[in-house]
Amino acid sequence: MHILIIHQYFLDSGTNQAGASRWNQMSRYFAQRGHKVAVLAGTVHYATNEKLAKYKGHIVVKEEDCPGVTVYRCYVSESYNKNYLGRCWGYISFVLSGIFAGLKIERPDIIISSSPPLTVGIIGWVIRRRFRKLPMIFEVRDLWPESAIDTGVLTNPFLIKLGYALERLSYRESTWINVLTPAFYDVMLQRKNVREDRLSMLPNAADLDIFQPGPRNNWVRQKYNIEDRFLVIYTGGLGVANHVIQFVEAARAFDDDSARFMVVGDGMHRRMLEEKVKEWGLNNVIFTGFRPKREVVDICAAADVCCAVLKKVDTFKTVYPNKVFDYMASARPTVVAIDGVARKLVEDAQCGFFVEPENSEQLAQTLKNLQADPQLRKQMGENGLRYVRENFDRKKVADQYINIIENKVLPHRHICAVKS
């Protein structure tokens, strides 16, 4: 089977880029099972705004990611992370270059469009019609445009209407819709008019072949002069939605020298966070910037507790942050300042604690309690590792994806995912 994946944020595996690697891993698993995979991906890293030299000056660059997986790097403007208009042009430029590349590739058997951004649905729609209505799976990794609206990123009435129009187009043109959380599943049924017999929930899951328990006293503690101090980490973006200021505020409550707070990531709020650390005279907060995935594995191993935080908005009650699975696979206790399904995940696994989002005092107290109880930290880490291995193995998710394609999508390729 020839599978075409449209995913603007597909990582460049050759450079070990930082970021979410769901489709990097899934495409490999598909290829290992004998399928041929093509990927339409962007040339700009979604968080660092990095464009490698080999992509500059080209509309499309064809390369092999691994045996059986061919990636077509499609032009994305380097204005992507400069401002809101730059972000819009980044999406539009990928649509144009993605269509250009997609119309030239060998006919696939199925298209998988993974959003956000919603604009990947336009590429899938054009290619699908070019090849006489190929079946298409539209994957919802985040609820857009709701997330952008709730966090205040998207306020223009025209752009909001456009966002919902793109969403309707993507759903209407799809044969099947896959979502990543149980809450997304409910939203699709209750608010998006999606047919239940055309809907699945295959979660993000864990990279168990990458994230594994490792030694606490590794090079990370040596490099950052942490020694045997209590180490709390946050990994991921530093944008409006992440609201990492609550993590930095929690560090203020540790007025001795017994703890370190490590922020592993980058984004538009990094400068503000660094200025706050300087203003408050904190010497227990470390900013590393984005680190390659292999380094993040060691950073998680060096941690005593891992944190996942987001802004307090209702939409985020529906999300499973990627980082939580990484933390669990690393056998480290997890504190989530995210209500909803993320909270339920941690509580069901008995691998950590929930604290109210944007409540830095509660976050600090929870961390102090964990600092005082090494045995509890050890037990929670073991619980999380066991739970993620049993329930969120990405290899198993890949098998489930293929099963859905072969038994439910291809035999019923002419059925629309939304109700008429």
pLDDT digits (tens, 9 = 90+) for 35-59: 999 999 999 877 666 788 888 889 9
Please report whether residue 197 resides in a domain: yes
Distance CA 315, CA 142 (A): 9
Considering the domain architecture, whether residues 247 and 130 belong to the same structural domain is answered as: no
* pLDDT at residue 131 is higher than 90: no
Considering the domain architecture, whether residues 250 and 121 belong to the same structural domain is answered as: no
Considering the domain architecture, whether residues 379 and 404 belong to the same structural domain is answered as: no
Distance CA 99, CA 125 (A): 10
pLDDT value of position 294: 87
Considering the domain architecture, whether residues 196 and 322 belong to the same structural domain is answered as: no
Please report whether residue 281 resides in a domain: yes
pLDDT value of position 82: 64
pLDDT value of position 160: 87
Considering the domain architecture, whether residues 370 and 237 belong to the same structural domain is answered as: yes
Q: Are 327 and 306 in contact (CB under 8 A)?
A: yes
Please report whether residue 369 resides in a domain: yes
Considering the domain architecture, whether residues 383 and 370 belong to the same structural domain is answered as: yes
**Owning domain of residue 405:** 2-205+393-412
Considering the domain architecture, whether residues 224 and 275 belong to the same structural domain is answered as: yes
Instruction: Please state, as a whole number, how many other Cβ atoms lie within 10 Å of the Cβ of residue 236.
Output: 27
Please report whether residue 67 resides in a domain: yes
Please report whether residue 418 resides in a domain: no
pLDDT value of position 292: 86
| DSSP conformational letter for 57 | T
* pLDDT at residue 15 is higher than 70: no
Phi, psi of 86 (to 5 degrees): -65, -40
Considering the domain architecture, whether residues 71 and 185 belong to the same structural domain is answered as: yes
pTM of the model: 0.85
Please report whether residue 210 resides in a domain: no
Distance CA 232, CA 327 (A): 12
Structural domains counted in the chain? 2
Least confident of 8-17, 293-302, 322-331, 402-411: 8-17
Considering the domain architecture, whether residues 192 and 316 belong to the same structural domain is answered as: no
Q: Predicted confidence band at 263 (pLDDT cuts at 50, 70, 90)?
A: very high
The residue with greater pLDDT, 202 or 420, is: 202
Q: What is the CATH number of the domain that holds 359?
A: 3.40.50.2000
Question: Within 13 Å, how many C-alpha atoms sit on residue 413's CB side?
Answer: 13
* pLDDT at residue 181 is higher than 60: yes
* pLDDT at residue 85 is higher than 90: no
Q: What is the arithmetic mean of pLDDT over 359-373?
A: 97
Considering the domain architecture, whether residues 65 and 93 belong to the same structural domain is answered as: yes
Q: What is the arithmetic mean of pLDDT over 244-259?
A: 95
pLDDT digits (tens, 9 = 90+) for 147-176: 878 777 778 888 889 889 999 999 999 999
Q: What is the arithmetic mean of pLDDT over 202-231?
A: 93
Choose among 246, 214, 278: nearest CA to 360.
246
